[in-house]
């Protein structure tokens, strides 16, 4: 009865509040948006928001994809071939499966990018949007991946005004039994 409720340890109540999302961001797993770019630990929980961008669920992303209302950019990094491989070593690129029709812009989602990577990113965005900064563009990588958050933030700073961020990425897409296809990184035509 009532005595049992009074005797319940506070930790059980805090756990229950955390599970129900009543204990605030610290217990509920909320992540604050950083002021700048995420500079390390890119595979970690991400915020629910990106100021200036529209954050979408899998069903929202699927609707944009089916209706062809956005250019999809996969920003999953690609490991470079090691320069010092012993002679005769076979190097096999890791296969990337992403949302069909996506443009894979490998390595543009780091917090700090080189001038060459920034130029590649700018040229790729322009080429795939017809240089229309009002065209809807959607960024993703994987669940708990800051690369897409950083890339979307950078596009906003460069003046793109219809930026969509899909934080669940290819993992969320695959979990919804939506199609994936093998892709290779986009090459800018000079």
Rg (CA), the chain: 20
Rounded Cα–Cα distance for residues 15 and 9 (Å): 10
Closest CA to 96 of 147, 47, 163: 147
Could you give the 3-state DSSP secondary structure of residue 181?
strand
State the fold for domain 54-79+95-183: Oxidized Rhodanese; domain 1 (3.40.250)
For 66-82, b/e burial (b = at least 16 CB within 10 A) is: eeeebbbbbbbbeeeee
DSSP category for residue 185: B
Helix residue ranges per DSSP H, the chain: 2-7, 10-19, 25-28, 58-66, 115-129, 146-157, 169-175
Q: Which residue has the tokens 């217990």?
A: 27
Q: Where are the domains positioned within the chain?
A: 54-79+95-183
From first to last of its 190 residues, the chain has per-residue pLDDT tens of 444 444 444 444 434 433 343 333 332 358 999 999 999 999 999 999 999 999 999 999 999 999 999 999 999 999 877 888 888 888 788 889 999 999 999 999 999 999 999 999 999 999 999 999 999 999 999 999 999 999 999 999 999 999 999 999 999 999 999 999 999 999 998 6
């Amino acid at each position: 009865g009532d005595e049992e409720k009074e005797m319940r340890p506070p930790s059980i109540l805090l756990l229950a509040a955390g599970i129900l999302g009543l204990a605030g961001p610290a217990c509920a797993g909320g992540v604050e948006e950083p002021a700048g770019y995420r500079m390390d630990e890119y595979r970690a929980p991400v915020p629910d928001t990106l100021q200036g961008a529209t954050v979408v669920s899998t069903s929202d992303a699927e609707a944009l994809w089916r209706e062809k209302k956005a250019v999809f950019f996969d920003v999953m990094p690609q490991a470079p071939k090691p320069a010092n491989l012993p002679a005769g070593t076979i190097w096999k690129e890791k296969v990337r499966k992403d949302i069909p029709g996506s443009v894979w812009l490998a390595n543009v989602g780091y917090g700090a990018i080189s001038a060459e990577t920034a130029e590649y990113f700018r040229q790729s965005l322009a080429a795939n949007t017809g240089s229309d900064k009002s065209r809807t563009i959607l960024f993703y990588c994987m669940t708990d991946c800051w690369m897409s958050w950083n890339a979307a933030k950078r596009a906003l700073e460069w003046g793109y005004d219809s930026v969509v961020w899909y934080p669940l990425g290819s993992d969320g897409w695959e979990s919804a039994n939506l199609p994936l296809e093998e892709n290779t990184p986009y090459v800018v035509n000079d």
